[in-house]
Structure 1
């Protein structure tokens, strides 16, 4: 495939990445995961900008991106060890890990195919960035699986973080340090939920 064809496909992939991270950010109640998804989304937006700049530099037509078949990757993966209270967070993180692993390989292949040196450099940099995402997501997933992830929720009263520590049980209570409201952990559909006491 031509450099422009690979750039179009990559831009389509990055647009999908931004959308998935926005969706995942909006689905989590854990401030740490919210920040992770927001950071990944912003990084992918930067990739979009770099791809657009290279498409324009090569005289490409950005409307071609809409003709590229969007990736058919799941946004949730429910396979693997299930950890009490973390069903949805783990499903999102595992799907994102698979997505980023595929992107890493794809960009590596595109770097090998590139004829333009700037495009080759861009694809190498994108592959490196996606590898960083793989490493970060792997670390976060392992922290959940090994019980070291500190469970937190946004306080629905004041917006601060309500902390429950690592590996909390249903019924664990915690008081918001800013507004003083007491909350307990409960469970719904294998996800922790916050209940005001």
Structure 2
């Protein structure tokens, strides 16, 4: 999962993860739970407008993919594993060299941590932070420990039970469609390359400008 180039507040990102954690049901974050006047009259709070934003099967499959990044040896999110082997769904990230990020969830709680200067982005490269110098700083170095500390503390304090049954992928979303295009024969290749003035791929860009997760953690 790649964190894209469009700016988003940490609360917005936390809500994205919360939607995946809730079988695809999205609710607008509401800071107010209850408002009561000095005279005891209760004032109606805004509605969270909960609705099915994505199919449950898609949410479950995305959750499965995120967990695979945690449990797979050398996975992008291996460092996010929560205490007591609680099933963890998370992703670390680095936006260029100006933001260190980690977000994720368990079925009951979602959160997101961003480390950086949103008003005036500044490169973390070749910086010393807390007495440690790094040529390049990534999400797993600061954002991940902060995310894990919050999640572990909250889950323990609130006594949130473990739910290790979430994240069951639907087979139709795991199937990779096979290519229907037939491979060219050797004769067709040879015939295509016999033209003296033909440029056989000399100007072809074979993925040089393709972003293959460059905004994700590079570790």
TM-score by length of 1: 0.24
The structure with the greater share of residues assigned to helix is 1
